[in-house]
Amino acid sequence: PDNRVVRRNAAAVIQHGRVIQIVRKRLLPAYRYFEDKRYFEPGREVEPVNLETREGPVRLGVLVCEDLWDEGYELKPTAIYAEKGTELLVCINASPFVGSNPGRRDAKRFARSAGLTKKVSRYGIPIVYVNTVGIGDNGKNIIPYDGFSLAFDRDARLVAALKAFAEDQQSIVLENGRGCPVSEPPFDREAEIYAALVMSVRDYYDKLGIFRGVLEAVSGGIDSALGTAIAYDAMGKDLLSLYNLPSRYNTSKTQALARALAENFQVPYHVIPIQDMVDRVVQDFEKYLHRFRLPVTLENLQSRIRGLIMMAESNDRQALLLTNGNETEIALGYATLYGDMVGGLSVIGDLPKPDVYRLARYVNRKWDRSMIPEEVFTIPASAELKEGQVDPFDYDVVGPMMNDFTEMGWSPDELVEHFRARTLPPEKYGSGPGSLYDRYTVDQFALLASRLYRTLSQSVYKRLQGAPIIAVSDRAFGFDLRETIINGWDGG
C-alpha cells in the first residue's frame, strides 16, 4: 500500500532440490474476502517450464488460483499456456468451501468441476487442481478450505478426486495426457456442511493453541444440541464440557432434554441455577439506581448472567466457549449483546434456522440413533426468558427471507415480486398445500418483508460485536458481507 515494497503472490517449481521457476500470480481478485489487489502486484509472465521425467521432458504450466478462473479478465493465462505448447497444467488454490442450497447441487465443488471440465475441453491440456485444506480467517470470518483436489485428463475425464476436509495425497499416471477415469465422489449436502463446521472448530482450536478445552452452554433447544454434536465430533468427549444454567422460566422438559443430550454424548455436564443471582442483581440494581422500567431488561439480564458465568469458566479453565446463535437470529438481532452472544467462535452463525434442523437430523442419521433427542425437534423454539415465551417468528418463512436478503442481495420489493409470481425457491420455502402462499396474502408478505429488512439494518451494531462466524455459504455475516452500522436505507 505504501508503494515502497512490491509484494507478489507466487509459487515455486522445485525439482531435484533446485528452484527452476518462480510463477507470480497474474489475476488478482477483489471480491468477497479476497483482497489480493490491496496487497499484491500482479505478475505478467506466462511461460511453461520443462520438467524432467523418465519419459522425457514435460512442458508444465503453473496457475495460482484465480489465474484459472479468467472470465472477466483481459489476460487469459490458460490460453497463453496452450499457445506455447504446455502439456500439463497444475493449479494451486486456496478455494473456500461453499455448501449447496437446499435441494440443489450448487456447492463450490460443482462449480470447480464444471469450470475445470470446460477448460480441459477447450484446450485439451490435463489439469491437476490442488486445493488447500483447513481454515483461514479475516478477523471476523473463519474460512474453511475443503481440499477436494481434482485431476482431469486431456479428454476432460476425472482421473483423481482426493478427500474433502482432510489431508490426502495420490499418484496419478497419464499416458499421452490420458488417465484412468474415476467416479465423482458422492454428494450429501448436510454431511458436507457438517464436516466443514467440524473441521473448522478443530482447526481453530489447534491453530490458536491457547485453549485447554471447549465449553458449550446447552438449553434443551435445537441450536445448542447441534452445537454440541459438532463440538463432540471436532474435539471428542475428553475436551468438551456442557453447561445448563436454568432460571425459573426454564421448564423441566427443556432441562431434561439438555441432560439427555449430555448423557447421549457421554460428556461432563454441569447445572448452575441462576435465579438467586438474577434476584440479587435485581435487588441491588433497584436499591442503587431505580426500578426496572422495561420487562425486556429483566429478560436480557438472565442471558447476561449466563454469559458472565460462562466467560468466567472459559477464563478460569482457559477453554474455548462456543456460541449457539444461528444466521436467522443474528440477522434479526434476536440475541443478547454480552449475553448469549459471548464466546470465542460462532459455529452455526452462517446456518439459517431451517438448516439447523436439517443438520441436526443429519446428526441422528449419521449415528443411526437419536443422539439429539427427538423431542428437541418438536418443542416450540423459545429463549425461555419469561413465562410461556416462544420465539415470535415463523422460521420456515423468516429463515429463507433473511437468507435471501443477505446471500441473494434481494430488496423487500424484489422478494415480494417473487412471492407475487410464486417463484420463490420451493427447496427453501416449501410448496404445495399449506405453503407460505396459503398462509400469507401479498399485503401481509410485503409488510413482513419490510419489517424484517428494517430489523436486519437495525441489528448491524450487534452483529459486529459478535464472535467470528464460520462461513459455509456464499455470503456470511462478518467481513464477507460488509455492513455499515449507520444506514437509513429501507431497501426500497
Q: Where are the domains positioned within the chain?
A: 10-189, 193-392
SS3 call for 447: helix
User: Residue holding cell 468466567?
Assistant: 312
Q: How would you classify residue 409: left for phi > 0, otherwise alpha for psi between -120 and 50, otherwise beta? A: left
Give, to the nearest 10 degrees, the angle between helix 222-235 and helix 189-208. Answer: 60
Band of residue 4 on the pLDDT scale cut at 50, 70, 90? low
Q: Retrieve residue 64's grid coordinates.
A: 495460482
Band of residue 487 on the pLDDT scale cut at 50, 70, 90? confident
Which pLDDT score is estimated for 480?
85
Average pLDDT over residues 230-254: 97
Q: Is pLDDT at 48 greater than 60 in this prediction?
A: yes
User: What residues contact residue 21 under an 8 Å CB cut-off, 6+ apart?
Assistant: 12, 13, 47, 49, 62
Which pLDDT score is estimated for 2?
59
Give percent of the chain with pLDDT exceeding 70. Answer: 99
Q: Retrieve residue 231's grid coordinates.
A: 463440538
Q: Are 273 and 382 in contact (CB under 8 A)?
A: no
The reported pTM is 0.95
Report which DSSP code applies to 164: B
Residue-wise pLDDT for 154-204, tens only, equals 999 999 999 999 999 999 999 999 999 999 999 999 999 999 999 999 999
Residue-wise pLDDT for 8-31, tens only, equals 999 999 999 999 999 999 999 988
Burial of 193 (0-12, 13-18, 19+ CB in 10 A): buried
Neighbours of 84 (CB within 10 A): 12
Average pLDDT over residues 375-399: 94
Which pLDDT score is estimated for 421?
96
Q: Are 291 and 282 in contact (CB under 8 A)?
A: no
Rounded Cα distance between 355 and 353, Å, is 5
User: What residues contact residue 55 under an 8 Å CB cut-off, 6+ apart?
Assistant: none
Rounded Cα distance between 127 and 364, Å, is 39
Band of residue 488 on the pLDDT scale cut at 50, 70, 90? confident
Rounded Cα distance between 435 and 431, Å, is 5
Span of 209-218, 277-286, 294-303, 471-480 with lowest mean pLDDT: 471-480
Neighbours of 124 (CB within 10 A): 13
User: Which amino acid makes up residue 437?
Assistant: Y
Average pLDDT over residues 241-256: 98
User: Residue holding cell 410464486?
Assistant: 422
Architecture of the domain made up of 193-392: 3-Layer(aba) Sandwich (3.40)
Residue-wise pLDDT for 125-155, tens only, equals 999 999 999 999 999 999 999 999 999 999 9
Alpha helices in 164-221 (DSSP H): 189-208
Give the chain's mean pLDDT: 95
Band of residue 3 on the pLDDT scale cut at 50, 70, 90? low
Architecture of the domain made up of 10-189: 4-Layer Sandwich (3.60)
Q: Is pLDDT at 214 greater than 70 in this prediction?
A: yes
Q: Retrieve residue 73's grid coordinates.
A: 479478465
Question: What value does the CA radius of gyration of the chain take, rounded to a whole number of Å?
Answer: 26
Residue-wise pLDDT for 307-361, tens only, equals 999 999 999 999 999 999 999 999 999 999 999 999 999 999 999 999 999 999 9
